[in-house]
Amino acid sequence: MSDPQQNPVRLDALDRKILSLLQQDASLPLEEIAARAGASRTPVWNRIRRMREQGVIRGQVALLDAESLGLEACFFVLVRTTEHDADWAGRFLAAVRARPEVVEAHRLAGDIDYILKVVVRNARAYDRFYQSLISEVRIQNVTALLSMEEMKATHALPIPPG
Amino acid sequence: MSDPQQNPVRLDALDRKILSLLQQDASLPLEEIAARAGASRTPVWNRIRRMREQGVIRGQVALLDAESLGLEACFFVLVRTTEHDADWAGRFLAAVRARPEVVEAHRLAGDIDYILKVVVRNARAYDRFYQSLISEVRIQNVTALLSMEEMKATHALPIPPG
DNA sequence: TTTGAAAACATCTACAT
DNA sequence: ATGTAGATGTTTTCAAA
């Protein structure tokens, strides 16, 4: 937690194995993680602590089921703007950060300026979001891509080999 | 875990408060969650157990820092295909599921057929992924959107009010 | 809902390898 | 740097009030 992303940290095979287990299931007891990683508690625990301090492990969260929460619609929103000054960008950033239905937002290279991932109850809720967003910041062009089926979704990053 | 997404489960305000806390930080002690939710341990614990059984809570994972792992590039890949038969779709699904660098894949409504989110070390690694994918399944047209900046990224779903 | 208490677990230390 | 072992405090889990 102390050292947020001080870039490529050196990780050995045991570190990577531990990370791989933890990002699949962080509720495993330490002893189980140690067993599966082929080591014993103390070294595994020391590595976990070190990786937390280094910021490699950012935290631990519960994953919820969108459908159980009544969140049945997911849109990817492609945004083009004519305005590229810092003031506009700041207001757009604030608008996006303030809306919990925007679960992801990226600034892009190339001809589309931004992509958003928006999770809402239904199409009507998306429209409310959209109207609210364009009333707050001027946007040249918006294309909404509606997800019909989540084929794959993981929170596990691909851990590169050494 | 027993009852995967049996759709809109009834949740009261306390359930939602608990979920909101857990999806921000699942390492909080039960007592802390109870205190912040304004209840005591046992009822909170019973609700957490119930929501796990109902599949509202899908699990608990560690979140890793992409940069620390040397994963500096993120692409959104827009895929168009001419082939819409079940066989092609099955092979595409298998190809996508087999590749850990694809962290998300959706089948879309409309003129673009699929969107993928791909996390890799750099542009060269993306090109390897791309070459490998198109050698495995025929694809009509691919547009890759390169993320220059992750403006927002959360694993927390927006929890709708009652 | 609260309290209390048993069992499981994480955490840290010390020592040996 | 890793393993073993154990001490300590915390947390989960469950029973009972």
pLDDT digits (tens, 9 = 90+) for A64-86: 999 999 999 999 999 999 988 99
Nucleotide with minimal C1' distance from the CA of A12 is: D1
Q: What percent of chain A has pLDDT over 70?
A: 96
Cβ neighbours around A29 below 10 Å, total: 9
Evaluate if residue A12 carries a pLDDT over 50: yes
Q: How high is the pLDDT of residue B2?
A: 39
Test the B interface: residue of A23, A115, A152 with most B CBs within 10 Å: A152
- Calculate how close chain B gets to A126, using CA atoms only, in Å: 13
**Tokens at residue B34, please?**
């109870």
Q: How high is the pLDDT of residue B3?
A: 43
What's the mean pLDDT in A38-63?
A: 95
User: Distance between CA atoms of B139 and B118, rounded to whole angstroms?
Assistant: 17
Phi, psi of A93 (to 5 degrees): -55, -45
In B, residues 44-73, which contact A (CB 8 Å cutoff)? 54-71
Evaluate if residue B9 carries a pLDDT over 90: no
- Domain ranges, ordered by start, for chain A: 13-53, 67-146
Taking CB atoms within 8 Å and a gap of at least 24, the contacts of A110-113 are A110/B145, A110/B146, A111/A80, A112/A78, A112/A79, A112/A80, A112/B145, A113/A79, A113/A80, A113/A81
Read off the pLDDT of residues B45-83 as tens digits, 9 standing for 90 and up: 999 999 999 999 999 999 999 999 999 999 999 999 998
Q: Enter the pTM of the model.
A: 0.94
In B, residues 70-129, which contact A (CB 8 Å cutoff)? 70-71, 74, 76, 93, 96-97, 100-110, 112, 114-115, 119-121
- Calculate how close chain B gets to A11, using CA atoms only, in Å: 8
pLDDT band at A1 (very low <50, low <70, confident <90, very high): very low
* Strand D bases contacted by the protein (CB, 7 Å): 1-6, 10-16
| The CATH number of the domain covering residues in B13-53 | 1.10.10.10
Q: How high is the pLDDT of residue B159?
A: 97
What's the mean pLDDT in B84-94?
A: 96
pLDDT band at A123 (very low <50, low <70, confident <90, very high): very high
Evaluate if residue A93 carries a pLDDT over 60: yes
Q: Residue B107: beta bridge partners?
A: A149, B114
Q: Looking at domain B67-146, which of 3.90.1150.10, 3.30.465.10, 3.30.70.920, 3.40.50.300 is its CATH number?
A: 3.30.70.920
Residue predicted with more confidence, B9 or B124: B124
- Indicate yes or no: CB of A57 within 8 angstroms of CB of B66: no
Intrachain domains A13-53 and A67-146 with the same fold:
no
Q: What percent of chain B has pLDDT over 70?
A: 96
CB A19 within 8 A of CB A159: yes
What's the mean pLDDT in A122-150?
A: 97
- Indicate yes or no: CB of B62 within 8 angstroms of CB of A65: no
Round the average pLDDT of chain B to a whole number and report it. Answer: 93
Evaluate if residue A4 carries a pLDDT over 90: no
User: What are the strands, taking DSSP E only, across chain A?
Assistant: 57-64, 73-80, 102-108, 114-120, 141-153
pLDDT band at B7 (very low <50, low <70, confident <90, very high): low
- Calculate how close chain B gets to A144, using CA atoms only, in Å: 10
Evaluate if residue A60 carries a pLDDT over 80: yes
pLDDT band at A34 (very low <50, low <70, confident <90, very high): very high
pLDDT band at B6 (very low <50, low <70, confident <90, very high): low
Test the B interface: residue of A11, A19, A69 with most B CBs within 10 Å: A69
Residue predicted with more confidence, B83 or B143: B143
Closest CA to B94 of B133, B150, B51, B59: B133
Cβ neighbours around A64 below 10 Å, total: 23
- Indicate yes or no: CB of B68 within 8 angstroms of CB of A56: yes
